[in-house]
Chain A
Amino acid sequence: KAGVTQTPRYLIKTRGQQVTLSCSPISGHRSVSWYQQTPGQGLQFLFEYFSETQRNKGNFPGRFSGRQFSNSRSEMNVSTLELGDSALYLCASSPWLGGGGSPLHFGNGTRLTVT
């Protein structure tokens, strides 16, 4: 079974621009969660989607948004990029809702650099 696929692997953007990251979950997995990973803050939860609906949201500003499609693929968008948004963005999938109580399968992430 193919794992979680994230594209692109690397992105370089300029402050003020917007960016869209893509995630394809493991086949049959309906829940997709997004995490931001930085050296200082570690892994921080952004949001979880299940059946095309956002079910849970972390403590991030509204510039961070996401969506999920009917095939469970997910995208996250960051608008008006700031230097502090530079991070590794990780997507994780799970067969069922409730990412806090079930195994998460992570992709290898998208490394975003904002200059």
Chain B
Amino acid sequence: QQQVKQSPQSLIVQKGGISIINCAYENTAFDYFPWYQQFPGKGPALLIAIRPDVSEKKEGRFTISFNKSAKQFSLHIMDSQPGDSATYFCAGGGSQGNLIFGKGTKLSVKP
């Protein structure tokens, strides 16, 4: 009940395209769903997060879509740029526990 499943493992997108990464969670007690971005040699950095009382959150080119009934959420990166090439992690958690991370998606944006 603690898993967060993330797909795809890797993704190649052309510059200007849309990158989509999907996650599914099992624990219905989760009430916080962040996405982290990690560059080689660096720690993960918080990109955007959502709580289950909203179905969508947008920050610049990054959008989280959240489907509570399906226990799924996704990250959309619009107008993808080479500088977006990184590994992205979704996660789920609640204030009573710790964050459970997906296994990560390695995104490559080709010029």
Contact = CB atoms under 8 A, between A and B. Distances in A.
B43 A103 contact: no
Interface stretch (A42-50, A69-77, A78-86): A42-50
Contacts of B104: 42-43
Given A42-B103, A42-B104, A108-B41, A103 B46 contact: yes
A33 B96 CA distance: 14
Interface of A: 4, 33, 35, 42-45, 48, 56, 58, 90, 92, 97-109
13 contacts: A48-B98, A56-B98, A90-B44, A98-B96, A99-B93, A99-B98, A100-B95, A100-B97, A100-B100, A102-B32, A103-B34, A104-B99, A108-B43
Contacts of B30: 100
Interface residues of B, number: 25
Contacts, number: 64
Contact of B89 (A43, A48, A103, A105): A43
A101 B43 contact: no
Contact of A100 (B32, B36, B44, B89): B32
Given A99-B93, A101-B95, A104-B46, 14 more contacts: A43-B44, A45-B99, A90-B44, A99-B99, A100-B32, A100-B99, A100-B100, A101-B94, A101-B96, A103-B46, A104-B34, A105-B46, A106-B45, A108-B43
A33 to B, nearest CB: 7
A105 B103 CA distance: 19
A6 B97 CA distance: 23
B78 interface: no
Interface of B: 30-32, 34, 36, 41-46, 49, 89, 93-104
Nearest to B91: A43
Contacts of A103: 34, 46, 49
B43 A45 contact: no
A102 to B, nearest CB: 7
Contacts of A92: 43
Nearest to B97: A100
